[in-house]
Amino acid sequence: MVFLARTSSPSEWKSVANSISTLVEEATFEAAPEGLSFRAMDPSHVALVDLNWPSSAFEKYECDSQLKFTVRVADFVKLIKRADTRDSVEISRADEETLVLRIQDGYKREYKLHLIESTSAPTPLPKLTFNSKLMMTEATFEKILSDISVVSDHTSIETSKDRVTFSGKSDSGSASAEMDKTGADLLELDVKEDSKATYSIDYLLNITKAAGATSDTVVSEYSSKMPLRLEFRLSEMGGTIHFYLAPRVEER
């Protein structure tokens, strides 16, 4: 079986590795001629990550048949971190038990990573209908979450036709951040039905910091008291990382 995937910079691999590391300890990638994919849910069943990385988004991509390989995420992250900004990164399978990682800018580094047996079951995507969609820059989204986190470990997102409000409260106080369609910070707002739901800020911040490194924007979609889906672009050439986050059962 032939598998090789190369990018001209390490940023995409770092986003993928860091995103996966926020949820699981092992990762089973699925390679096919069409591209690379990954999907898994965290042990608490609160969050799910779904990677779609088409072959056209790579500098070089070869795969002659469908195959799977499983890595310890912590080991994979350590190796990817060795790549500097200008390094190219190439990943291939030497055999059924070994993954080869080559990093090069001037001199070449080569690592061999032992693959492991997968212990996880296939993860289906949830079937959801989204009534509200909003897009903003990654920096703005991360700053809003940080603003609310000063007083709360969760945030309620409330959307109407013209505006979106993030809010949170705790015994120490409350906080809110509001944007409307006329402001520069809200790039897109599409509301079929007024929506409100509450989510963990820790999950949202960890996800955004991990996946947002290669994405200028964040697209959020949700419905009242339903899971939230975040979309991060992997690169301008294509590829997406979707995160699904369950709402808090009890809203305050």
pLDDT of residue 91: 97
Asked: is 3-114 a CATH 3.40.50.2020 domain? The reply is: no
Q: Is residue 214 pLDDT above 90, yes or no?
A: no
Residues 6+ apart with CB under 8 A from 167: 148, 155, 156, 158, 174, 175, 176, 177
pLDDT of residue 250: 60
**Within 13 Å, how many C-alpha atoms sit on residue 249's CB side?**
1
Q: What is the pLDDT of residues 84-100, one digit of tens each?
A: 999 999 999 988 899 99
Q: Is residue 251 pLDDT above 50, yes or no?
A: no
Tokens of 102: 């080559």
Give the helix ranges, DSSP H, for 164-236: 201-211
What CATH superfamily classification does 132-245 receive?
A: DNA Polymerase III, subunit A, domain 2 (3.10.150.10)
Residues 6+ apart with CB under 8 A from 52: 35, 37, 239, 240, 242
Name the band, by pLDDT with cuts 50, 70 and 90, for residue 119: confident
Q: Lowest mean pLDDT: which of 34-38, 64-68, 168-172, 210-214?
A: 210-214
Q: What is the pLDDT of residues 43-52, one digit of tens each?
A: 999 999 999 9
Q: What is the pLDDT of residues 127-163, one digit of tens each?
A: 999 999 999 999 999 999 999 999 999 999 999 999 9
Q: Is residue 63 pLDDT above 60, yes or no?
A: yes
Q: Lowest mean pLDDT: which of 25-29, 79-83, 248-252?
A: 248-252
Q: What is the pLDDT of residues 223-241, one digit of tens each?
A: 999 999 999 999 888 899 9
Residue-averaged pLDDT of the chain: 93
Q: Report the percent of the chain where pLDDT is more than 90.
A: 86
Phi/psi for 218 (5° steps) reads -130, 130
Domain ranges of the chain: 3-114, 132-245
pLDDT of residue 252: 45
Q: Do domains 3-114 and 132-245 have the same CATH topology?
A: yes
Highest mean pLDDT among 32-36, 42-46, 102-106: 32-36
Q: Is residue 106 pLDDT above 90, yes or no?
A: no
CA 228, CA 199: separation in Å to the nearest integer?
A: 8
CA 215, CA 158: separation in Å to the nearest integer?
A: 24
